[in-house]
Amino acid sequence: MKILVTGGAGFIGSAVVRLAVSRGHQVVNLDALTYAACLDNVAEVADSPLYTFEHADIRDPAALTRIFTTHQPDAVMHLAAESHVDRSIDGPRDFIETNITGTFNMLEAARAYWTRANTPAGFRFHHISTDEVFGSLPNDPAQKFTETTPYDPRSPYSASKAASDHLVRAWHETYGLPVVLTNCSNNYGPYHFPEKLIPVIILNALAGKALPIYGDGSNVRDWLYVEDHADALLLALEKGKPGHSYNIGGENERSNLELVQTLCAILDAKRPKAAGVYADQITFVTDRPGHDARYAIDPSHIRAELGWRPSVTVEEGLERTVDWYLANESWWRPLQARQGVGVRLGIKDTDRA
Ligand code: NAD
């Protein structure tokens, strides 16, 4: 299959590109190369005859028309987005323009291309979204997000993703475009940009810096290993029913504090400190405004319909992740110099120290 992947130089998109090429798919990677992108993420497939890169912006409709016409994809996997909640608090405009208008441009370019091709039933527009569109859950294990949970986004990021999900569904209902949606929980793993919690903790720990935990660390997330996620995404693309959405979770709920303590214990075993333990570096900092308490995915739909389950526990995935960061300093070191990395973002000016 020839797949047009948007955002393929980012964290999850690059895992999809690597896996798709390894399974023999042709991949066109469309990416604007924002601050969050890194072409080294796809270096292992860059010379493959199955791989092509298109440096383009989904805010540019003419570029999208050209790319669809040139490459004639069988399917689209749309991951390009502004993805960092803290940045969305400081500057929501890019989130509106890329996540909402950019998705609209992708849908229109895909619809025009699909219509010109006489509306092939096998075409797919797979939109990759987040469980954050469902809002925040109480700390009650009986309550989880299902595919029918009402939308209740609470940050500029999640609101922009919710809007994009609604557009994708509307293009299916109104124009018949064969879409599939997936909403996943928090991803982690190799090539995670060093502004997100898990790489921040690993890299700050190694540098002897404070390990910042927002609020009291009680916020719960359902951690999904990125390579498991890429596997689920390709399955949803190939086997998902048009017009359906699938929640993808890691079946690994942990509070932020538990997660950081686990990372500290892994680092204590692999790279012991001269004195003390990494947990000594934990520091509680001002919470994110509107910080959602808990996200948790009910994985029963994708399990029953597509037979998919995650392959690793969060402890196994974190150990692999720590190993990867220890072995790949040449990847993460230059990224730490990028704008906004290592700086506290997303708090109200009145809360700034
Ligand atoms: P990322 O920030 O690592 O990568 C995003 C990629 O999109 C980058 O390569 C960037 O250059 C590209 N991009 C941004 N704006 C663009 C534009 N206007 N035109 C073209 N390319 C553009 O993001 P990620 O963590 O890999 O997330 C990928 C998708 O998965 C996003 O849609 C995100 O909302 C969704 N998602 C992520 C998570 C997570 O835990 N990371 C969880 C749920 C959903």
Instruction: Please confirm, yes or no, whether 132 is among the known catalytic residues.
Output: yes
Task: Specify the pLDDT at position 346.
Answer: 87
Ligand 1 within 6 A of CB of 252? no
Tell how far the Cα of 99 is from the centroid of ligand 1, in angstroms. 9
Ligand 1 within 6 A of CB of 81? yes
47 in a structural domain = yes
Q: Which domain holds residue 144?
A: 2-189+226-251+292-312
Q: Which residue minimizes the CA distance to atom 15 of ligand 1?
A: 81
> How many domains is the chain partitioned into structurally?
1
Residue 247 φ/ψ region, left for φ over 0, alpha for ψ in the -120 to 50 degree band, beta for the rest: beta
Three-state DSSP at 214 gives strand
Written as six digits, the tokens of 144 are: 């989880």
CA distance 102 to 124: 18
Active-site option among 31, 51, 54, 157: 157
| Ligand 1 atom index nearest CA of 224 | 40
Ligand 1 within 6 A of CB of 250? no
| Ligand 1 atom index nearest CA of 12 | 26
Instruction: Please confirm, yes or no, whether 131 is among the known catalytic residues.
Output: yes
The DSSP code sequence of 273-302 is: -SSS-GGGGEEEEPPPTT--SB--B-THHH
Written as six digits, the tokens of 267 are: 């680092």
Ligand 1 within 6 A of CB of 161? yes
Per DSSP (E only), the strands in the chain are: 2-6, 26-31, 51-55, 75-78, 124-130, 179-184, 187-188, 211-214, 220-222, 224-225, 245-248, 253-255, 282-285
What CATH number is attached to the domain comprising 232? Answer: 3.40.50.720
Active-site option among 54, 57, 86, 132: 132
Ligand 1 within 6 A of CB of 59? yes
CA distance 3 to 315: 32
Q: Check: CB of residue 173 under 8 Å from CB of residue 166.
A: no
Share of the chain above pLDDT 70, in %: 98
Q: At what angle do helices 314-327 and 256-270 cross, to 10 degrees?
A: 50
Q: Which residue minimizes the CA distance to atom 43 of ligand 1?
A: 130
Q: Which residue minimizes the CA distance to atom 41 of ligand 1?
A: 187
Tell me what the mean pLDDT of segment 215-237 comes to: 97
Tell how far the Cα of 284 is from the centroid of ligand 1, in angstroms. 28
Q: Which residue minimizes the CA distance to atom 19 of ligand 1?
A: 57
Mean pLDDT value across the chain: 96
Residue of 5, 6, 11, 40 best suited for mutating to test ligand 1, as the one with most atoms within 8 Å of CB:
11
Ligand 1 within 6 A of CB of 31? yes
332 in a structural domain = no
Ligand 1 within 6 A of CB of 181? no
| 350 pLDDT above the threshold of 60 | no
Task: Specify the pLDDT at position 344.
Answer: 81
Instruction: Please confirm, yes or no, whether 173 is among the known catalytic residues.
Output: no
Task: Specify the pLDDT at position 352.
Answer: 46
231-272 tens-digit pLDDT: 999 999 999 999 999 999 999 999 999 999 999 999 999 999
CA distance 28 to 109: 15
96-141 tens-digit pLDDT: 999 999 999 999 999 999 999 999 999 999 999 999 999 999 999 9
12 in a structural domain = yes
| 349 pLDDT above the threshold of 70 | no
| 353 pLDDT above the threshold of 60 | no
281 in a structural domain = no
Grade residue 347 by pLDDT with cuts at 50, 70 and 90. Answer: confident
Grade residue 342 by pLDDT with cuts at 50, 70 and 90. Answer: confident
342 in a structural domain = no
Task: Specify the pLDDT at position 351.
Answer: 55
Residue of 5, 33, 34 best suited for mutating to test ligand 1, as the one with most atoms within 8 Å of CB:
34
| 331 pLDDT above the threshold of 50 | yes
Residue of 79, 196, 228 best suited for mutating to test ligand 1, as the one with most atoms within 8 Å of CB:
79
278-299 tens-digit pLDDT: 999 999 998 888 888 999 999 9
Grade residue 348 by pLDDT with cuts at 50, 70 and 90. Answer: low
Ligand 1 within 6 A of CB of 196? no
267 in a structural domain = no
48-69 tens-digit pLDDT: 999 999 999 999 999 999 999 9
